[in-house]
Copies of this chain bind each other. A is one copy, B any other.
Amino acid sequence: MYKKIDNDDIRFLIDICGEEEVFAGEDISEDFSHDELGGVEKYPEVLVNVYNTEQVSKIMKYAYKNNIPVTPRGQGTGLVGASVAIHGGIMINLSKMNKILELDEENLTLTVEPGVLLMTIGQYVQERDLFYPPDPGEKSATIGGNINTNAGGMRAVKYGVTRDYVRGLEVVLPNGDIVNIGGKVVKNSSGYSIKDLIVGSEGTLGIVTKAILKLLPLPKKDISLLIPFKDLPTAIETVPKIIKSKSIPTAIEFMERDVILAAEEFLGKSFPDNTSDAYLLLKFDGNSKEDIEKEYEKVAHLCLKNGAYDVFISDTQERNESIWSARGAFLEAIKASTTEMDECDVVVPRDKVADFIRYTHDLQKELNVRIKSFGHAGDGNLHVYTLRDGMDDETWKLKLKESFDCMYEKSRELRGQVSGEHGIGYAKKEYLHESQSESYMDLIKSIKTAFDHKNILNPSKIY
C-alpha cells in the first residue's frame, strides 16, 4: 500500500540534505532498528539526518505526495517502539537539530530545537539560576521525545509533567505545512488546544521542530529523605497519608532492596543504605532551609508513626547525587540483570499503588517469573518489569503476555490508565484498546485522520 523507497527517492533526500546525511540499506546503523527496550524491531528503508525545519517540511511534502511512511526519531530512548519504522520508509533523525535558540528572562521561556538533550537543558538553565522541572530518569533523551510522550518524571508530584511546561510549538504537519502553535503567552483560549494534542501524540500527528518551554526560578535548596520500611506495601501505604497531611513533596519514589542492589552493581557505587527490604525516597525543595525543614519534619514524623524504621536526611549535594543517580539508573540496572525485559508503565490513583504492587508480588509467585518494579509513588505511576532470564522464546512470549494481561487488567480494575509517561507506541496498542470504549477509540482514530488522512506519519502507532 505504501510506496517502496527507490533511487529517485534517495536522490531527492540527498538533494535536500546532502549525501553524507542520507543512509540506505546496509549503511543504516543497527541502533535505528529498535529503541531502548528492543522488543520491536524493523529497519527504515532510508535514514536522513535533518538540520532545519525547511528540510523536514520538504521531506514531508514529498512523502505526502508519494505516499511514503515517515518515522520521526530522536535519541531512541523510548520503551514502546514509537520511534521504530514499522513500515520501513523514511526515518527522519532530528537529533542533530540540537540548538538552544533563545533564553527570554522577562517571559521566563527557553526556545529550543527538538534534538536538545534533557541534560543539556537542565544544566543550561541551572547555570542561570532557572529551573525546567520535568525530570525523567533518562537524561539523554531529547526534548522532542519528551514532548511526544508527555514525559513525567520524578518531580511530577509537585511540578506536573512536560505538557505543563510547553508554551508554544512549531510543527511540520503530515502534508509538509509548517504551523506555529501558542507562543510565549501564559494563557490561551483561542480555539482548540492543538498544542496539547501534539504533546503526547508520539510523533503521529506532526513533527515538532521547535518548542518554547516555560521555566521557573530555581529553588534555592533541596533536601532528600531516604526512609526504610519493613516491606513495600507498608512503605507505599504511607504515601496517601502524606498527601492527606497536605504536604506536597517535590518527589516521592519507592524502591525495593533488589533494585538497589542491582543499581549498586550496575554503577559500581554504593547506596547510603541497603539493609531494609523497601524504601521511600522523598525530596523537598524551597527557598530556605527553614521552610523545607518545617515541611519535612512533619512528614518524617508521619512516616515513623506508620512503620518507618528510620529517616535518613541527605542535605549535601554529594550525597543527594549519589542517591538520585542510583535512582536514575534503576531501569538500566534491571535491564543489565537479565537477558530481556518489557515494561508495564501503568498509572493508578495514588491510593491504589500499594494494591497494585501487592498484586505484582503475588503474580510473580503465581506465574513463576521475576517481576521487578520501582516508580513514582507520589503520582501513582509505576514502572514494572517482567524479566526473561533463562526462558526460551516460546515460554518468554507466553509468560510476558500472561503477566501483562494480568497487570493491565488489574490497572483497569483500579481505574488506572495504560501509560503514565512512556506512551503507547507500537508495543502497548492492544492494552490501550482493551482499556477504552469503542467510542473513545473512534475519537482517537478520527483525530489521527483529521491530521493525517493518508496515514503516512508514524503509522501503526497508538491504535
Contact = CB atoms under 8 A, between A and B. Distances in A.
Given A351-B106, A447-B450, A191 B421 contact: no
Contact of A187 (B183, B197, B244, B420): B420
A423 B382 CA distance: 37
Interface in A413-431: 415-424
Given A105-B244, A188-B420, A193 B196 contact: yes
A347 B107 contact: no
Contact of A179 (B294, B422, B443): B443
A240 B104 CA distance: 10
B419 A183 contact: no
Contact of A189 (B104, B349, B380, B420): B420
Contacts of A406: none
Contacts of A160: 164
B200 A197 contact: no
A186 B157 contact: yes
Given A192-B462, A291-B291, A420 B107 contact: no
A248 B415 CA distance: 36
A201 B197 CA distance: 13
Interface string A170-202: 000101011111111111111111101101110
Nearest to A175: B439
A119 interface: no
Contacts of A305: none
Contact of A247 (B217, B350, B416, B418): B217
A417 B157 contact: no
A86 B205 CA distance: 32
Given A193-B163, A248-B216, A107 B243 contact: yes
A336 interface: no
A389 interface: no
Nearest to A80: B189
A246 interface: yes
A57 B444 CA distance: 20
A149 B189 contact: yes
A151 B188 CA distance: 9
A168 B27 CA distance: 47
A378 B185 CA distance: 11
Nearest to A416: B185
A172 to B, nearest CB: 10
A141 interface: no
A142 to B, nearest CB: 16
A101 to B, nearest CB: 15
A186 B347 contact: yes
Contact of A106 (B191, B248, B350, B437): B350
A96 B449 CA distance: 37
Contact of A440 (B179, B200, B450): B179
Nearest to A247: B217
B185 A436 contact: no
B436 A446 contact: no
A200 B194 contact: no
A108 interface: yes
A266 to B, nearest CB: 26
Interface in A331-371: 345, 347-351
Which one of A156, A184, A290 has the greatest number of beta carbons of chain B within 10 Å?
A184
Contact of A186 (B156, B185, B186, B189): B156
Interface string A5-43: 000000000000000000000000000000000000000
Given A186-B379, A443-B451, 8 more contacts: A106-B244, A107-B350, A179-B443, A183-B416, A187-B381, A191-B462, A446-B449, A449-B450
